[in-house]
Amino acid sequence: MKKIFVTGGAGYIGSHVVKALGEAGYQVLVYDNLSTGNRWAVLHGDLVVGELSDRQLLSNTLRDFQPDAVMHFAAFIEVAESVSNPLKYYRNNTLNALQLLEVLQELNIGRFIFSSTAAVYGTPEEIPVAETAPLEPINPYGASKMMSERLLADLTLALPEDFRYVALRYFNVAGADSGGRIGQAYKNPTHLITRALKTARGQYPALQLFGTDYPTEDGTCIRDYIHVDDLAEAHLVALRHLLNGGQSDIFNCGYGHGYSVREVIEVAKKVSGVDFTVIEADRREGDPAALTAKSDKIVSELDWKPRHDDLEYIVRTAWEWEQKVDAKLSD
Ligand code: UDP
């Protein structure tokens, strides 16, 4: 049984990947500080509660577990917060990734899957954006991830046999486990779908729509929303690639087409059955107008088979989860 070490495995995306790893028969060890993650979200394997910055604990845990591969999810993810507090992002997303790589090198652990982001592209000249597009992040979040990608690229160049990685550039991840066991559980979520659904549930008086003067058809931003279970499956195909001796590589994770903020709001109203209040507000700093993935590379090279390319399904699973999450958080 192959052993996979998962940082941030108690968080939103990490927990869905841990679920998929467990179902596929891998042995899993999660390392998470539970700052945004939750113990109940770890559906398979064991959990070590620790800081990524705690080099000693990280090193001892890895030495004991001897994983075949590492998946690195632990990171901060909010664009707006990264603009107001950039050093927090560089410290956690870049410096802690660097330290993790140092520890892995010391221990000769050389297969690595990295959570990257479409934010590394900034405002791409062409959409859907291909993996080969220039990396020009427009916010510290994207820059912090781009720097980590660079560390990985340089390390694999230096040690082509001993260190191989796959970086997955996530587009807009949303939705929840179809079994309703896990989902997004942030205390103050900023992402559009979650925010809209919490507004529908009356947890916020209104949804702010950030920017209606973008150069898009309806003036609002366009994003490529991908269901979290499809994203989890992308990690599994990437893992098989590395475990079967595949080379280091980078893949977009999105469906290849997008929806505007207004379209998402319409679907959220339909699914919830609530005509919640929407306030048109100024643009949010750091938001590109449109971001969609050219996604054929992961499909053709890793045989990724997405199954939930359906905004209504994404929003419905998120809505079902919203009925449960508060009770989960107060457990
Ligand atoms: N957005 C919005 N209101 C919100 C949250 C998000 O209008 O309460 C917009 C945001 O400006 C962006 C899109 O929805 O255009 C997606 O934002 P989100 O934070 O979900 O993901 P991001 O693309 O920033 O990773």
Q: Calculate how far, in angstroms, residue 161's C-alpha sits from the geometric centre of ligand 1.
A: 40
Secondary structure E strands in 64-110: 69-72
Locate 200 and state its tokens.
């529908």
Domain ranges across the chain: 3-174+225-253, 192-224+256-329
- The atom of ligand 1 lying closest to the CA of 77 is 25
Question: Is the separation of the CB atoms in 70 and 167 below 8 Å?
Answer: no
Distance CA 330, CA 239 (A): 34
Distance CA 17, CA 113 (A): 12
118-142 confidence digits (pLDDT tens): 999 999 999 999 999 999 999 999 9
Question: Is the separation of the CB atoms in 31 and 70 below 8 Å?
Answer: no
Is residue 264 lining ligand 1, measured as CB closer than 6 Å? no
Locate 64 and state its tokens.
């004991």
Place of tokens 């070490």: 5
Is residue 235 lining ligand 1, measured as CB closer than 6 Å? no
**141 catalytic per annotation:** yes
Q: CB count, 10 Å around CB of 310? A: 14
79-118 confidence digits (pLDDT tens): 889 999 999 999 999 999 999 999 999 999 999 999 999 9
Is residue 195 lining ligand 1, measured as CB closer than 6 Å? yes
232-268 confidence digits (pLDDT tens): 999 999 999 999 999 999 999 999 999 999 999 999 9
Tell me whether residue 282 is exposed, middle or buried, using C-beta atoms within 10 angstroms of its C-beta: 0 to 12, 13 to 18, 19 or more: exposed
Q: CB count, 10 Å around CB of 284? A: 15
Average pLDDT over residues 215-227: 97
Backbone angles phi, psi at 82, to 5 degrees: -70, -30
Distance CA 175, CA 182 (A): 10
Q: Which CATH architecture has domain 192-224+256-329?
A: Alpha-Beta Complex (3.90)
Q: How many CA atoms lie within 13 A of 319 on its CB side?
A: 21
Report pLDDT for 289: 93
Average pLDDT over residues 320-329: 94
Residue 287: pLDDT band with limits 50, 70, 90? confident
- The atom of ligand 1 lying closest to the CA of 220 is 15
30-73 confidence digits (pLDDT tens): 999 999 999 999 999 999 999 999 999 999 999 999 999 999 99
Is residue 262 lining ligand 1, measured as CB closer than 6 Å? no
Residue 316: pLDDT band with limits 50, 70, 90? very high
Q: Calculate how far, in angstroms, residue 96's C-alpha sits from the geometric centre of ligand 1.
A: 26
Indicate the average pLDDT of the chain: 97
- The atom of ligand 1 lying closest to the CA of 264 is 14
Domain 3-174+225-253 belongs to what topology?
Answer: Rossmann fold (3.40.50)
Q: Calculate how far, in angstroms, residue 82's C-alpha sits from the geometric centre of ligand 1.
A: 14
Report pLDDT for 298: 98
